[in-house]
Amino acid sequence: MSGAEITVTNTATHTADTPQLLLEHHLKELRLPTILREYDKVARQCAVEQLDYQRYLLRMTELELLDRERRATERRIRQAKFPVVKTMDSFDFLAIPSVNKPWYWNWHDASSWPAARTSCCWATAAQVKHTSPWLSA
């Protein structure tokens, strides 16, 4: 055996003993925090569901992408330095009486939509003014 073969054999034996440590190290170096955090749990789920490696890898990369998008959004909001976080729960409907509060809170209920259901993209300004649920009657 040459020295190179011994080194390869020793490295193979070494990596067989510590795959989890090496995997975690590589994931940190590649900056894949979500995969690092979730790989073991998702691997067990995929084993129970008898999914192949491609499906496992797909789930892991989807989780990483979703988490990156979420963190990027949070980072942009932080960097924008908005003065106050506002939600519709804190909206002062009395300050703008033309906004129809009951319609707003029930917007998902199609029965509260205007009968014409005219798309503002195709409607004229006059049609929008007369059919808009945002304007009080």
The pLDDT tens digits of the residues spanning 25-54 come to: 999 999 999 999 999 999 999 999 999 999
The answer to whether 133 touches 103, Cβ cutoff 8 Å, is yes
pLDDT at 52: 95
The answer to whether 24 touches 36, Cβ cutoff 8 Å, is yes
pLDDT at 112: 52
Q: What percent of the chain has pLDDT over 90?
A: 42
Average pLDDT for 104-130: 55
The mean pLDDT of the chain is 76
Of 13 and 104, the one with more pLDDT: 104
pLDDT at 128: 46
Structure-block tokens of residue 115: 């009968």
pLDDT in tens, 76-86: 989 998 877 77
Average pLDDT for 110-130: 51
Tell me the DSSP string of the chain. --HHHHHHHHHHHHHHH-HHHHHHHHHHHTT-HHHHHHHHHHHHHHHHTT--HHHHHHHHHHHHHHHHHHHHHHHHHHHHT-SS---GGG--TTTSTTS-HHHHHTTT-GGGS-TT---TTTS-HHHHHHH-TTS--
Average pLDDT for 69-75: 94
d(CA 63, CA 34): 7
Q: Which of 73-82, 92-101, 119-128 bottoms out in mean pLDDT, i.e. has the lowest?
A: 119-128
